[in-house]
Amino acid sequence: MISFHLARADNGVIGIDGRLPWHIPADLKRFKAQTLGRAMVMGRRTFDSFPAPLPGRRHIVLTRDPAWQATGAEVVHSPEDALALAGNDAAVIGGAEIFALFTPDRIELTEVHAAPTGDAVVPAFTGWREIFREDHAADGDRPAYSFVTLVR
Protein backbone atom coordinates (compact mmCIF):
# COMPACT_ATOMS: atom_id res chain seq x y z
CA MET A 1 0.00 0.00 0.00
CA ILE A 2 1.13 3.51 -0.81
CA SER A 3 -0.26 6.23 1.40
CA PHE A 4 0.33 9.98 1.41
CA HIS A 5 0.67 11.79 4.74
CA LEU A 6 0.52 15.57 4.64
CA ALA A 7 -0.95 18.76 5.98
CA ARG A 8 -2.18 21.09 3.24
CA ALA A 9 -3.61 24.59 3.59
CA ASP A 10 -6.77 25.65 1.76
CA ASN A 11 -4.56 27.42 -0.82
CA GLY A 12 -2.44 24.28 -1.43
CA VAL A 13 0.59 25.37 0.61
CA ILE A 14 2.42 22.58 2.44
CA GLY A 15 5.61 24.41 3.40
CA ILE A 16 7.82 27.47 3.36
CA ASP A 17 11.61 27.53 3.58
CA GLY A 18 11.73 23.83 4.49
CA ARG A 19 9.29 24.05 7.39
CA LEU A 20 5.57 23.94 8.08
CA PRO A 21 3.89 27.37 8.11
CA TRP A 22 1.77 26.35 11.16
CA HIS A 23 2.17 24.46 14.42
CA ILE A 24 -0.59 21.93 15.08
CA PRO A 25 0.53 19.43 17.76
CA ALA A 26 -2.41 17.08 17.07
CA ASP A 27 -1.31 16.81 13.43
CA LEU A 28 2.21 15.82 14.49
CA LYS A 29 0.78 13.22 16.88
CA ARG A 30 -1.43 11.78 14.12
CA PHE A 31 1.52 11.72 11.70
CA LYS A 32 3.60 9.80 14.23
CA ALA A 33 0.84 7.25 14.86
CA GLN A 34 0.31 6.66 11.14
CA THR A 35 4.00 6.31 10.21
CA LEU A 36 5.51 4.54 13.22
CA GLY A 37 6.99 1.20 12.18
CA ARG A 38 6.66 1.97 8.46
CA ALA A 39 8.99 2.96 5.67
CA MET A 40 8.66 6.66 4.92
CA VAL A 41 9.55 7.88 1.43
CA MET A 42 10.63 11.49 1.18
CA GLY A 43 12.76 13.91 -0.75
CA ARG A 44 16.13 15.15 0.44
CA ARG A 45 14.80 18.55 1.53
CA THR A 46 12.12 16.89 3.66
CA PHE A 47 14.76 14.67 5.28
CA ASP A 48 16.98 17.71 5.85
CA SER A 49 14.09 19.51 7.59
CA PHE A 50 14.17 17.00 10.48
CA PRO A 51 16.54 17.77 13.36
CA ALA A 52 17.39 14.04 13.37
CA PRO A 53 15.88 10.89 11.84
CA LEU A 54 12.47 10.17 13.37
CA PRO A 55 12.59 7.17 15.72
CA GLY A 56 10.85 3.92 14.82
CA ARG A 57 10.62 4.55 11.09
CA ARG A 58 12.74 3.88 8.00
CA HIS A 59 13.78 6.99 6.07
CA ILE A 60 13.94 6.24 2.34
CA VAL A 61 15.22 9.39 0.66
CA LEU A 62 14.63 9.91 -3.04
CA THR A 63 17.21 12.27 -4.54
CA ARG A 64 18.69 13.08 -7.94
CA ASP A 65 22.12 13.66 -6.36
CA PRO A 66 24.12 10.44 -6.76
CA ALA A 67 26.65 11.55 -4.12
CA TRP A 68 24.18 12.51 -1.39
CA GLN A 69 24.11 10.46 1.78
CA ALA A 70 23.18 11.02 5.41
CA THR A 71 23.11 9.05 8.62
CA GLY A 72 19.74 7.35 8.98
CA ALA A 73 18.83 7.71 5.30
CA GLU A 74 18.43 4.89 2.80
CA VAL A 75 19.15 6.64 -0.49
CA VAL A 76 17.37 5.82 -3.75
CA HIS A 77 17.23 7.56 -7.11
CA SER A 78 13.88 6.48 -8.57
CA PRO A 79 10.32 5.99 -7.33
CA GLU A 80 10.53 2.32 -8.35
CA ASP A 81 13.63 1.81 -6.20
CA ALA A 82 11.91 3.54 -3.27
CA LEU A 83 8.91 1.20 -3.50
CA ALA A 84 11.12 -1.86 -3.89
CA LEU A 85 13.05 -0.89 -0.76
CA ALA A 86 9.83 -0.15 1.16
CA GLY A 87 8.35 -3.51 0.17
CA ASN A 88 5.38 -1.75 -1.41
CA ASP A 89 4.20 -0.45 1.99
CA ALA A 90 5.28 3.15 1.77
CA ALA A 91 4.20 6.22 3.70
CA VAL A 92 5.05 9.03 1.27
CA ILE A 93 5.61 12.20 3.31
CA GLY A 94 6.78 14.81 0.81
CA GLY A 95 7.67 17.23 -0.40
CA ALA A 96 5.58 18.47 -3.27
CA GLU A 97 7.87 17.06 -6.00
CA ILE A 98 7.85 13.63 -4.34
CA PHE A 99 4.05 13.53 -4.04
CA ALA A 100 3.86 14.16 -7.80
CA LEU A 101 5.89 10.99 -8.49
CA PHE A 102 3.59 8.49 -6.77
CA THR A 103 0.01 7.28 -7.10
CA PRO A 104 -1.31 6.51 -3.63
CA ASP A 105 -3.99 4.07 -2.54
CA ARG A 106 -4.91 6.27 0.41
CA ILE A 107 -4.35 9.88 1.51
CA GLU A 108 -4.15 10.85 5.17
CA LEU A 109 -4.64 14.59 4.98
CA THR A 110 -4.78 17.37 7.50
CA GLU A 111 -6.71 20.21 5.87
CA VAL A 112 -5.42 23.42 7.43
CA HIS A 113 -8.13 26.06 7.12
CA ALA A 114 -5.83 28.97 6.36
CA ALA A 115 -4.07 30.51 3.36
CA PRO A 116 -0.45 31.03 4.42
CA THR A 117 2.38 32.14 2.18
CA GLY A 118 4.54 29.24 1.07
CA ASP A 119 6.97 27.94 -1.52
CA ALA A 120 5.82 24.30 -1.61
CA VAL A 121 2.34 23.66 -3.01
CA VAL A 122 0.33 20.50 -3.66
CA PRO A 123 -2.79 20.67 -5.85
CA ALA A 124 -6.17 19.65 -4.47
CA PHE A 125 -6.97 15.94 -4.52
CA THR A 126 -9.84 15.47 -6.97
CA GLY A 127 -11.58 12.21 -7.80
CA TRP A 128 -11.13 10.81 -4.30
CA ARG A 129 -13.77 9.52 -1.89
CA GLU A 130 -13.74 10.83 1.65
CA ILE A 131 -14.20 8.06 4.24
CA PHE A 132 -13.26 9.96 7.39
CA ARG A 133 -13.40 13.57 8.61
CA GLU A 134 -12.77 15.06 12.03
CA ASP A 135 -13.05 18.86 12.31
CA HIS A 136 -11.20 20.99 14.88
CA ALA A 137 -11.86 24.64 15.66
CA ALA A 138 -9.22 27.36 15.64
CA ASP A 139 -7.54 27.93 18.98
CA GLY A 140 -5.52 31.09 19.62
CA ASP A 141 -3.00 31.43 16.79
CA ARG A 142 -3.60 27.82 15.63
CA PRO A 143 -5.91 27.72 12.60
CA ALA A 144 -8.92 25.45 12.33
CA TYR A 145 -8.10 22.10 10.73
CA SER A 146 -9.68 18.82 9.69
CA PHE A 147 -8.28 15.30 9.69
CA VAL A 148 -9.42 13.64 6.46
CA THR A 149 -8.90 10.19 4.94
CA LEU A 150 -9.35 9.79 1.17
CA VAL A 151 -9.45 6.59 -0.90
CA ARG A 152 -9.93 5.86 -4.60
Question: Nearest CA to 116 among 28, 25, 21, 27?
Answer: 21
- 73 with 39: CB under 8 angstroms? no
pTM of this prediction exceeds 0.75: yes
Model pLDDT, residue 56:
97
> Is residue 88 very low, low, confident or very high in pLDDT (cuts 50, 70, 90)?
confident
Cα angle, residue 51 at apex, residues 125 and 60 outer, rounded to 5°: 55
Q: Which residues have CB under 8 Å from 103's CB, separation 6+? A: 2
Rounded Cα gap, residues 100 and 41, in angstroms: 13
For the stretch 61-71, pLDDT in tens is 999 999 999 99
